[in-house]
Amino acid sequence: MEIGDPESLEDGDFEDTASALQSLMDFTAGMVTPVRTLRSRYRLVRELGAGTYGRVLLARPRRGGPPVALKLLPRARASWPTFLREFCVGRCVSCHSGLLSTLAPPLQSPHHYAFAQEYAPCGDLSGMLEDRGLPEPRLKRVGVQLARALDFLHARGLVHADVKPDNVLVFDRACRRVALADFGLTRPEGSPAPAPPGPLPSAPPELCLLRPPDTLALRPELDSWGLGVLLFCAATAHFPWSVALAPDPGFEAFAIWQTACPQPALPPAPWDQFSPAAQAFLRGLLALEPEERSRPTAVLDWAGEAWLGGGPWPEVEEEEEEELQEDSEGGGKEEGAGGEEEASLDEAEQEEEAEQEEEGARRASPGTP
């Protein structure tokens, strides 16, 4: 069975998905290409970002072709199965435009595991939200694309488990294409999820309440909550709370609104800046009880309605004007599209240099351990 086959996963069968993924990982283990240095394959241009587990570099394949985002997992921190799982999940879901494509072959150098992914020229969504939220047309595009992407993952028995603005990559400033990335925590539905290492604003209450060593079986409802928080962030440029637990004041006000019976005529701030349609789907995605939560595709039912107050939105004029502006400034252009100087040595290159030097030294003195 392939994990990309929804027919065989009608019941979201954990055993089937987990064993299919394990088989794929076993097979892929024999295909990981050893390289003496990553620079033999790629020209490393600059760092795109860094996360908990690794770093991502803009890189140009030496064989030619478009620039890629090279994800490096230091072998000192990432285990072999962790690397294989992230690569295999990424490959399996690469056919969906709302999920970032992972490119073969996976590589291992003396210090890193690595694989390439398609490069998103506009970076991640959190970078677009520094000052203000997205205007309505872009917000809707983000919501619709991510709802479909999550539905695709869930239909294959997988739970992303890390839906947040940092993990949404943007290909153009109008958000005509965005893709969910970072499959480092993606697991078959039903897998045990540990308590988060610290308070996370995108984690649902059931995960925030978990105390080590307890675990929680991963369900798609975890991603529904992540999508609800993400859409709030995309609209307002803020998280609704620091953590989804009392006594966080933002969360308490929301929880009182969610459970009030009868419902008050007006929602509390900041939820009152959303239209009644958006309030309805956000309350569904952010239901406090996981079993009452809407599927991500609930967003699609409301795509024809206004989501924000303050409209009407001059969609065509606004977007076209901005795109023209970007074109004239060269924004969204393929970066490193040939002819550029190789970047001065950054940290990753220095590491690679060190690898080469170490190896040279070992060869020069064969008796040294």
Ligand X SMILES: Nc1ncnc2c1ncn2[C@@H]1O[C@H](COP(=O)(O)OP(=O)(O)OP(=O)(O)O)[C@@H](O)[C@H]1O
Q: What six digits make up the tokens of 132?
A: 């203000």
CB of 124 to ligand X, least distance (A): 4
- Measured distance CA(287)–CA(258) in Å, rounded: 7
Is position 51 an interface residue for ligand X (rule: CB under 6 A)?
A: yes
Is position 37 an interface residue for ligand X (rule: CB under 6 A)?
A: no
Is position 166 an interface residue for ligand X (rule: CB under 6 A)?
A: yes
Q: Determine the 3-state secondary structure of 108 from DSSP.
A: strand
Residue whose C-alpha is closest to residue 290's, from 204, 186, 183, 368: 204
Is position 52 an interface residue for ligand X (rule: CB under 6 A)?
A: yes
16 is catalytic: no
Q: Looking at beta carbons only, is 94 or 117 nearer to ligand X? A: 117
Residue whose C-alpha is closest to residue 245's, from 210, 284, 193: 210
- Measured distance CA(155)–CA(269) in Å, rounded: 35
Q: Looking at beta carbons only, is 107 or 120 nearer to ligand X? A: 120
- With contacts defined by CB under 6 A, name the span among 3-11, 47-55, 296-304, 358-366 that binds ligand X: 47-55
Which of 45, 69, 72, 229 is the binder for ligand X (CB under 6 A)? Answer: 69
Of 162, 182, 223, 248, the catalytic one is 162
Is position 181 an interface residue for ligand X (rule: CB under 6 A)?
A: yes
The binding site for ATP comprises 71
User: What x/- string results for residues 269 through 308 when contact with ligand X is judged by CB under 6 A?
Assistant: ----------------------------------------
In the chain, the N- to C-terminal Cα span, in Å, equals 45
Q: Which of residues 70-89 bind ligand X (CB under 6 A)?
A: 71
- Measured distance CA(141)–CA(318) in Å, rounded: 15
Is position 119 an interface residue for ligand X (rule: CB under 6 A)?
A: yes
| Contact predicate 31/106, CB 8 Å | yes
Is position 170 an interface residue for ligand X (rule: CB under 6 A)?
A: no
Residue with tokens 């956000």: 282
- Measured distance CA(323)–CA(174) in Å, rounded: 7
| Contact predicate 169/123, CB 8 Å | yes
Q: Looking at beta carbons only, is 8 or 101 nearer to ligand X? A: 101
Is position 172 an interface residue for ligand X (rule: CB under 6 A)?
A: no
Three-state SS sequence of 143-201: HHHHHHHHHHHHHCCEECCCCCHHHEEECCCCCCCEEECCCCCCEECCCEEECCCCCCC
Q: Which residues contact 102 (CB under 8 A, 6 or more apart)?
A: 87, 90, 91, 94, 115, 116, 117, 183
- Measured distance CA(352)–CA(77) in Å, rounded: 17
Is position 169 an interface residue for ligand X (rule: CB under 6 A)?
A: yes
The binding site comprises 71
CB of 142 to ligand X, least distance (A): 15
Q: Looking at beta carbons only, is 20 or 142 nearer to ligand X? A: 142
CB of 16 to ligand X, least distance (A): 27
Is position 117 an interface residue for ligand X (rule: CB under 6 A)?
A: yes
Is position 175 an interface residue for ligand X (rule: CB under 6 A)?
A: no
Is position 124 an interface residue for ligand X (rule: CB under 6 A)?
A: yes
Residue whose C-alpha is closest to residue 188's, from 97, 94, 98, 89: 89
Q: Looking at beta carbons only, is 233 or 278 nearer to ligand X? A: 233
Is position 108 an interface residue for ligand X (rule: CB under 6 A)?
A: no
Q: Looking at beta carbons only, is 179 or 308 nearer to ligand X? A: 179
Kind plus residue range of the DSSP H or E element containing 281: helix 276-285
Is position 190 an interface residue for ligand X (rule: CB under 6 A)?
A: no
CB of 301 to ligand X, least distance (A): 30
Is position 184 an interface residue for ligand X (rule: CB under 6 A)?
A: yes
Kind plus residue range of the DSSP H or E element containing 17: helix 14-29
Is position 49 an interface residue for ligand X (rule: CB under 6 A)?
A: yes
Q: Looking at beta carbons only, is 73 or 308 nearer to ligand X? A: 73
Contacts with ligand X, residue ranges (CB under 6 A)? 48-49, 51-54, 56, 69, 71, 100, 117, 119-120, 123-124, 166-167, 169, 181-182, 184
- Which residues participate in catalysis according to the annotation? 162
